[in-house]
Every structure is written in structure tokens, then in C-alpha cells.
Amino acid sequence: MKFLYSHRTRAADGQQVHIRALTDALAASGHDVVMAGPDGANEKPLDAKDERGLKALLPGPLYECAEYGYSFPAFLRLMKTAKASRPDILYERYNLFFHAGVWAKRRLGLPMILEVNAPLAEERAAHGHLALKNFARKSEAAIWRAADMALPVSGVLAARLAAAGVPEPRIDVIHNGVEEAFLKPAAGALVRARYGLEEQTVLGFAGFVRDWHGLDRAVRFLVETGREDVALLIVGDGPARPDLERLASELGVSARVHFAGVVQREEMPAHLAAFDIALQPAVTDYASPLKLFEYMAQGRAVLAPDQANIREVLTHGEDALLFPEGGFETALAALAQSGALRQRLGAAARETLIRRDFTWAGNARRVEAIAERLKGTRA
């Protein structure tokens, strides 16, 4: 089949990883994928820059109107690309105020699959980054309901779509996954040697570093544990890094807190393999964290919050330790003290990932089956 992939993503972060991984997997399955998005958006190396652009210059209401306005030139570009490529399926990565795909679907009569990674109206309102709240909610619900199939990344998010009026038969949950490269067990020895971690129990975190991730608790744990052989390796960068560095200095543990900075995809498995304990200290209640599946693929012992979207993937005591509110330090101490527990949980996590096929190749097969069904109904 020929997929026309529509998106509005410029950031070179986890969003780009998702776009590249799924489209590469579809192409590897023999499908033709035609991209329709910002020029060069998926060719940049990964970074941790905040792609603010006009957001930093315009008042909130004016910026949000500009976001909606961007749908018009994007629609024209999408129509031009569609007429040249004659796709079978329109696949769009949802973004707030972005109606180009819906308009093109209606004009061309194309089946539309909508990938939904977050309830962005709710998310931006919660963080104080939304001015036109009512308009945003109506815009979001209209886009969700217009798709022939909506693919939220968690069951929790699927419930949000259903509450917004999307019929349940048109909702299919597809969690995130890993590329094939992550399925090959990597060696973390060189990374450990680079940071002097050969004899350390390494607490690891991978991803964009924000305050809400709660990594300050991991830094404080280095003091609370009373052990000099426990260290923290943070693979990534972001706005919370300076505060974490300052906290580590104040607590006298700077020598045991290491920042690898932004690591490109080909180097990531080796960095994850350097972890003894893979941390997900906090996560929004609807997300499907990329890092979680990457930790699992490398057989790391995962520590994550005990909440519904995580329980969709992992089971406490079987393939991870899931901590209740306030229980992070206790669960982390248990993992730090027992190599046997870490080994058992890490091996089971990898088995879960393989058994349930949490891979981008698996996701491509799921999308292919949905696309075939939609194409058949239009025949």
C-alpha cells in the first residue's frame, strides 16, 4: 500500500524517533510511505532544544490562531502531495489545531488513520500553555472524531477519546515500541568505563530531562542509601539539568551523578546496557513512554509508578517494580540491594516485550491490518 504520512512535528526528540521508527518499519514491510510535513523535520540529529519559534514571540491567543492557520498551507501541501502520489491511506500524527489531514480526507475521500500520543488540549491547559481552552477542546474532539480509525498509545488515552465522542469500534490502542537494533543485547562496559562506573550499581534514566520527571529523588537517594557504590547516569538533556547539577553539588554527590547528554539512536542501546536499574520516576497518566520499551528490550530492571497506563505494559513483581505514591525510595532500595532481583525482573521484562511484540515492526503490522480493512471498506 501507499501511505501518505502527515504531521506537523519539527522537534528532534522522541516525537521524531516515533515518526522515523514507524515509517521505516512500514517501508521495511514493503509499503511506500510518502512524507508530508515540515521540510527537513525528520532529517535532523536528535537534540534537546525547545522548538518554540513563534510561541516565544506571540501572545498565547494569537499564537494558537496561528497554529490553526498553519492548517491551511499544510492542507494545500498535503493535497499537492496526494495528487502526485495517489496514496491508499492517509496516516496523520495528531497535533492540536492541525486540521489539514481531516480536510484532505474529506476532499479526497481517503481513509484516515489518526495516531494520538496525548490529549494535547488537556496537557497544554494543565501546564498553563493554553489560552483558547474551549476552542482547543472543540478542535481536538473534532479531529479525533473525523478519523476512520484513531490509534491512541494507551488504554487510558483511549478512554479520553471515547469520552470525546469517538465510537469505540474506531479506536485501537497501539503502544509504543522499539527498533530492531534494541532487541540485540548490547554491551555497556565501554560506557561504564567512560564514566568510571565499573564497580558501581548504576541508576539510569534516558530521555528529555524535565522537573516533573522527579530525578531529584534519585539524586537524593544517593545520599539516603549511605552507599558510595551507587551512581546515577542520566542519558539526555533538558531544562532540569542545571537544577539537578546544583542539587548534586549541594548534597556532595556530584562525583556520582553523570550526564551523558543527548545520545543518538545508534549509541542508545549501549548506554541503556550500562544501567543496573532503569528509572521512570514519573509519567503522565496516559503516556506510553518510549524509554520504558527500550529499557525492557535491553533487559534492564525497571522501576516505574504503579498506575494504569504502566500496568498495561508491566506487572509488579513479575517484570518490574511498580511503586505506589511515596514509595519510590523503598522500591529503589530493594532493587539496589539485590542483584538477583534485578536480573530476574530485567530478563522477564525483555520476555514480556518479545512475547507481546512491543516493536515498531509489530506496530507496522498492526497499522497494515487496519489500513487493509479500511481500504477494503472503500473498495
131-146 pLDDT per residue, tens: 999 999 999 999 999 9
pLDDT at 48 over 60: no
Residue type, 237: D
Cα–Cα nearest to 180, from 372, 377, 359: 359
Q: Span 228-240, mean pLDDT?
A: 96
Q: Span 38-51, mean pLDDT?
A: 62
Q: What long-range pairs does 158-166 form, CB within 8 A, spacing at least 24?
A: 160/119, 160/122, 160/286, 161/116, 164/140, 165/141
pLDDT confidence band for 53 (50 / 70 / 90): low
Report yes or no: 254 and 245 within 8 Å, Cβ to Cβ: yes
Sheet holding 230-235, edge to edge: 257-259, 230-235, 201-206, 277-279, 301-305, 321-323
Report yes or no: 368 and 149 within 8 Å, Cβ to Cβ: no
Q: Give pLDDT, residue 128.
A: 84
Residue 159 CA, chain-centre distance (Å), reads 19
pLDDT confidence band for 35 (50 / 70 / 90): very high
Report yes or no: 70 and 78 within 8 Å, Cβ to Cβ: no
Least confident among 57-61, 186-190, 239-243:
57-61
To the nearest whole percent, how much of the chain has pLDDT over 70?
A: 95
Residue for grid cell 562525583: 255
Q: Give pLDDT, residue 38.
A: 87
Of residues 283 and 10, more confidence is placed in 283
Q: Give pLDDT, residue 259.
A: 97
Q: Span 296-306, mean pLDDT?
A: 98
Residue 66, Ramachandran bin (φ over 0: left; ψ between -120 and 50: alpha; else beta): alpha
164 phi and psi angles, rounded to 5 deg: -85, 0
Q: Give pLDDT, residue 12.
A: 74
Q: Give pLDDT, residue 49.
A: 61
Domains parsed from the chain with CATH numbers: 2-177+359-378 (3.40.50.2000), 181-355 (3.40.50.2000)
Q: Give pLDDT, residue 100.
A: 97
Q: Span 290-318, mean pLDDT?
A: 98
Locate all alpha helices (DSSP H) within 29-119, ordered by sequence: 60-85, 100-108
pLDDT at 75 over 70: yes
pLDDT at 39 over 60: yes
Least confident among 7-21, 111-125, 229-243, 266-280:
7-21
pTM of the model: 0.93
Question: SS3 for 158?
Answer: helix
Mean of per-residue pLDDT scores for the chain? 94
Q: Give pLDDT, residue 377.
A: 77
Least confident among 58-72, 96-110, 149-163, 228-242:
58-72
Q: Give pLDDT, residue 10.
A: 84
Q: Span 226-253, mean pLDDT?
A: 97
List, for residues 197-223, the tens digit of each pLDDT value. 999 999 999 999 999 999 999 999 999
Q: Give pLDDT, residue 182.
A: 93
pLDDT at 117 over 80: yes
pLDDT at 273 over 60: yes
Q: Give pLDDT, residue 44.
A: 58
Q: Which residues contact 9 (CB under 8 A, 6 or more apart)?
A: 15, 16, 19, 37, 38, 41, 93, 95
pLDDT confidence band for 56 (50 / 70 / 90): low
Q: Span 283-308, mean pLDDT?
A: 97
